[in-house]
Amino acid sequence: MEMRDLYQQVILDHNRSPRNFREIEDADHVAHGDNPLCGDKIKVYLKLNGDVIEDVSFHGSGCAISQSSASLMTIAVMGKSIAEAEELFHKFHGMVTADADQSARRKELGKLAAFAGVREFPARVKCANLAWHTLHAALCEHAEPVSTE
Ligand code: ZN
């Protein structure tokens, strides 16, 4: 099977049956993400234990890229520290936007590398990044409150 097909399978699978697609009723932090260009909406729930992400989930609707990316994001950061999650966010962001060496990053990112291909489609980069930006917003809220105005 081609690497590309394998990646497509990962995206289709997570779109069809998204993991951690639920609310966390006693979440410490909730953040909303909106990608009006595509119509993707994401809500990320976080439960922290000290600086460890004890539980993370999402709700949302939108295209296959945005929903599967959110599903894979929750798996990737579950049980990680805030610092580790932020590092993954930067690596993921770099993979879908930068021209840096891809092979090294793909290894570090595991299944998240399924989204490396969106670099060729600038409109889809926002779809892939939405869940990560929303997670980042939720984590920043933890550090210091985000001003709404
Ligand atoms: Zn989208």
Distance 31 CA to ligand 1 centre (A): 18
pLDDT band at 105 (very low <50, low <70, confident <90, very high): low
Residues, CB-to-ion distance under 5 Å, ligand 1: 38, 40, 63, 66, 127
The third-level CATH classification (topology) of the domain covering 3-147 is Sufe protein. Chain: A (3.90.1010)
Provide the edge-to-edge strand list for the sheet that holds 52-61. Answer: 29-35, 40-49, 52-61
Measured in angstroms, how far is the CA atom of residue 41 from the centroid of ligand 1?
9
What spacing in Å lies between the alpha carbon of 14 and ligand 1's midpoint?
14
Q: Report d(CA 85, CA 91) in Å as an integer.
A: 10
Of the two residues 13 and 148, the one the predictor is more confident about is 13
DSSP conformational letter for 80: -
64 CA to centre of ligand 1 in angstroms: 7
Residue 32: what residue type? Answer: H
Task: Render pLDDT for 23-56 as a digit per residue (tens, 0 to 9).
Answer: 999 999 999 999 999 999 999 999 999 999 999 9
Residues 96-103: contacts with CB within 8 Å, 24+ apart? 96/125, 96/128, 96/129, 97/125, 97/129
Average pLDDT, the chain: 88
Give the length of the chain. Answer: 149
Every domain of the chain and the residues it spans: 3-147
* Residue 51 CA to ligand 1 centre (angstroms): 30
Say if residues 107 and 127 touch (Cβ distance below 8 Å): no
* Interatomic CA distance for residues 80 and 35, integer angstroms: 26
CA atoms 121, 74, 137, 45: torsion sign: positive
Tokens of 69: 């990316």
Alpha carbon of 82 to ligand 1 centroid (Å): 26
Q: Which two tokens stand for residue 68?
A: 């599967």
pLDDT band at 3 (very low <50, low <70, confident <90, very high): low
Cα of 130 to ligand 1 centre, how many Å?
8
